[in-house]
Amino acid sequence: MYAQHVRQLRDTLLRDLSILCAAQMAPDVDLATLFVACRPANERRPAKYVPFLQSFDLAMPKSQGQGQGRDGREIDWVQHERDLAQKVKKQFAVLELLAQLALFLPYPLPEDRNHGLDLDRDLDFDHDPETLVHVLHAARASSDMLHLVISRVPKYAPILAEYVAGYARSQLFCLYPRDETPPDYIRKALESHYNAVTRLFQLDPGDECSQQQPAHHLLEGRAILRIVQAALLIQLHANVITVYESRGLVQLDDPHDTPDAYASHEDFVAVTQARRDAREAVQALYAAGRRLPLNTRSLLKDEPVADQVSYLQTPKLRT
């Protein structure tokens, strides 16, 4: 089955859903459990895409029987079919993209694995951010796959930033003390996460995103990404790591840090700049009256000043 056959599968599913809606049966479709595997091309055969299903539930929710929705109102079946078709098309578009991207892994490709596709010319990365994150999460995309996607998405979206930061944190929380450079496979994953985080800072939120999101949400996303970015750099370049699960790894103000603690002077400069960027982002967030979430604050060694002030001003209970 080739790429066009994946699209044929999509069209067949859309026709079947249309039949169900005509019969006033309301399936709740989620294609996140549909994976599209691929076999790379070689000299004798083109790339092949094979969809397979882990689980797929088309059962009609009991509350939607007899033409009624969950709130007891009559279902607009024409509109329901339109909404369902839009959802299916969005998810299939992401599934097809992930299948095509799998042909480029590991990235960069060896010279003998040229399959004729060009990442920037032949693939479309402009997808609905919510659908993109939903499918990436369900497919348990690798850090390499994440980097390929994030490095080419055209617009910033808070849900993308949240997913990238959360994925990177999960990697950071799995790391332990060491007195030598990290193994290659860990270094490669950390670099992919770092590149994905850095890419998000290069994307403009745009007027639409700024209007839809409260200012403090954008400030929080930026502060979280800056702290995660600093933690990734320290894990990548520090000669010695003494903490478990990256907890307390990042000190926003560390006047005693020296170049000797890193593999090179350039690495020291990069970490110093990352600390400064993180400190400024946290200060901007706290100046707006907001705080960091606990799962990100655990990466910090020094407690933000606003937290210290808040703690000192908290009334003590009498015993």
Do residue 99 and residue 149 come from a single domain? no
Across 171-179, average pLDDT: 96
The pLDDT confidence band at residue 163, using thresholds 50, 70 and 90, is very high
Do residue 233 and residue 294 come from a single domain? yes
19-23, 56-60, 172-176, 296-300, range with the lowest pLDDT: 56-60
Do residue 57 and residue 105 come from a single domain? yes
What integer pLDDT is reported at residue 53 of this predicted model?
54
Across 161-172, average pLDDT: 95
Stronger pLDDT, 113 or 224, i.e. the higher one: 224
237: CB partners within 8 A, 6+ apart: 262, 263, 264, 267, 268, 270, 271
Residue 67 lies in a domain: no
What integer pLDDT is reported at residue 23 of this predicted model?
87
Across 199-205, average pLDDT: 86
What integer pLDDT is reported at residue 95 of this predicted model?
81
11-25, 35-49, 195-209, 262-276, range with the lowest pLDDT: 35-49
What integer pLDDT is reported at residue 118 of this predicted model?
76
Alpha helices in 156-205 (DSSP H): 158-172, 184-202
What integer pLDDT is reported at residue 212 of this predicted model?
62
Residue 69 lies in a domain: no
Tens digits of residue pLDDT in 213-248: 667 788 999 999 999 999 999 999 999 999 999 999
Percent of the chain with pLDDT over 90: 39
**Residue 10 and residue 7: Cα distance in Å, rounded?**
5
Number of compact structural domains in the chain = 2
What integer pLDDT is reported at residue 59 of this predicted model?
44
Its domain, for residue 272, covers 142-306
198-207, 249-258, 272-281, range with the lowest pLDDT: 198-207
134-138, 165-169, 305-309, range with the lowest pLDDT: 305-309
What integer pLDDT is reported at residue 9 of this predicted model?
84
What integer pLDDT is reported at residue 260 of this predicted model?
95
Residue 311 lies in a domain: no
What is the DSSP code (8-state) at residue 62? G
Q: Under a CB-based contact definition with an 8 Å cutoff, are residues 166 and 212 in contact?
A: no
Residue 56 lies in a domain: yes
Do residue 284 and residue 217 come from a single domain? yes
Q: 51-90 burial string, b = 16+ CB within 10 Å, else e?
A: beeeeeeeeeeeebeeeeeeeeeebebeebbeebbebbeb
Do residue 94 and residue 230 come from a single domain? no
Strand partners, 50: 37
Question: Does residue 264 surpass a pLDDT of 50?
Answer: yes
Residue 162 lies in a domain: yes
Do residue 231 and residue 122 come from a single domain? no
Tokens of 45: 């055969």
1-5, 194-198, 206-210, range with the lowest pLDDT: 206-210
Do residue 243 and residue 149 come from a single domain? yes
Instruction: Look up the pTM and report it.
Output: 0.78
What integer pLDDT is reported at residue 140 of this predicted model?
80
The pLDDT confidence band at residue 172, using thresholds 50, 70 and 90, is very high
Tens digits of residue pLDDT in 47-83: 666 665 554 444 444 444 445 555 556 778 888 888 8
Question: Does residue 6 surpass a pLDDT of 70?
Answer: yes
Do residue 272 and residue 208 come from a single domain? yes
198: CB partners within 8 A, 6+ apart: 229
